[in-house]
Amino acid sequence: MKINVLLLSVVFFSGCASQPEKKSVSLNSIEYSELTYVDAEKIDKVVVKNAEAFKQFNKVILFATQFDKLKLTEETDKKLAYNWSESTWEEMDEICQHLDDLAQKIFREGDEFVPVKRGGDDVLAIQFTLVSFMPYSQRHKDAGMDTVGIQSNNSGIGLITVRGVLANAKSGELVAVIEDTMEVNSRTASMGNLASIQDSSNKAAQNLAWRTAFRHFLGNLHNELTTLKYAQIAQQQ
C-alpha cells in the first residue's frame, strides 16, 4: 500500500512539474481594430484576435511556407537586388523547405502543439510567408563555390522577415498574426568548430545560416505560443 501511494505521489508531482509556468501577458488595444498587440518577449510583432483562444489548442497543422509576397527592401544594394531577383523557384523553395522541416521538428519535439494532418477544434493552423529580405551578399551560386571553399563574407546573407498567420484549423477563424525579422548568418550557428564558419559565399554555409536563423525563430515562436496558452491575460490598455 505504501509503495502504491509513493508511486501515485511521484506521478502527481511529476505532472505538476511538467506544467509550463503561468505568466501574465499584457494586451494593447489597436485603434479601430478588433485585434490587440501582445507584449511578446522574443517575437517582434504578435497581434491576436482573442488571446483566450490559445487555451483550446493542443495540436498544430503546419502548411508549406510561401514566398510569393517576398519583396526586397528599398535599402538593398542595386547589384544585390538584381542578383537575388534572378532567383529561381527551385532556389527559393529550397530556402522555404528549411523552415518547413525545422517547424515540423521543433513542434514535434515540443511539449505543446503536436503536429497533425487533420483539423479539429483543438488544432491550430499556421501558414508562414517570407515577406521581406535585405541581402548582404549574393546567392551562393554567384558569390562563390557550391561546396566549402575559402572565399568569405563576414556580414552574412541578410535580414529576412517572416510572417505567420494562425487560425482555427476547423473553422478557419483568425487567431493571430505574428511577424519576426532575423539576421541570416552562420556565425551564430553553434559553439566549437562550426562557430568559425563565416563564409556566406558557398552553399554549405548559406544553408547552415538559413537553418540557424529559422531554428532560432521557431524555438522563440513555440515558446511564445506556449506562454499564451497558459497565460493570465491582463486587462487591455
Condensed to tens digits (0 to 9), the pLDDT of residues 76-118 reads 999 999 999 999 999 999 999 999 999 999 999 998 999 999 9
pTM tops 0.85: no
Q: What percentage of the chain has pLDDT greater than the value 90?
A: 62
pLDDT at 204: 86
Residue 19 pLDDT > 70, yes or no?
Answer: no
- Output 15 or 73, whichever has higher pLDDT: 73
Residue 164 pLDDT > 80, yes or no?
Answer: yes
pLDDT at 16: 46
- Output 31 or 63, whichever has higher pLDDT: 63
Task: Give the residue-averaged pLDDT of 39-45.
Answer: 92
Minimum mean pLDDT among 35-49, 78-92, 133-147, 151-165: which range? 133-147
15 burial type by CB count under 10 A (0-12 exposed, 13-18 middle, 19+ buried): exposed
| Cell numbers found for residue 34 | 478588433
pLDDT at 23: 79
| CATH numbers and ranges of domains, the chain | 23-230 (3.40.50)
Q: Computed over its alpha carbons, how large is the radius of gyration of the chain?
A: 21
User: Position of cell 554567384?
Assistant: 142
Distance CA 63, CA 87 (A): 23
Output phi, psi for 49, to 5 deg. -90, -40
Model confidence pLDDT, tens digit, residues 184-222: 986 644 433 444 444 456 788 899 999 999 999 999 999
Output phi, psi for 149, to 5 deg. -140, -155
- Residue 179 confidence class, pLDDT cut points 50, 70, 90: very high
Residue 3 pLDDT > 50, yes or no?
Answer: no
Instruction: Decide if 143 contacts 137 (C-beta within 8 A).
Output: yes
Distance CA 84, CA 71 (A): 10
Residue 131 pLDDT > 90, yes or no?
Answer: yes
Cα–Cα distance list, 2 to 9, 13, 14 (Å): 10, 16, 18
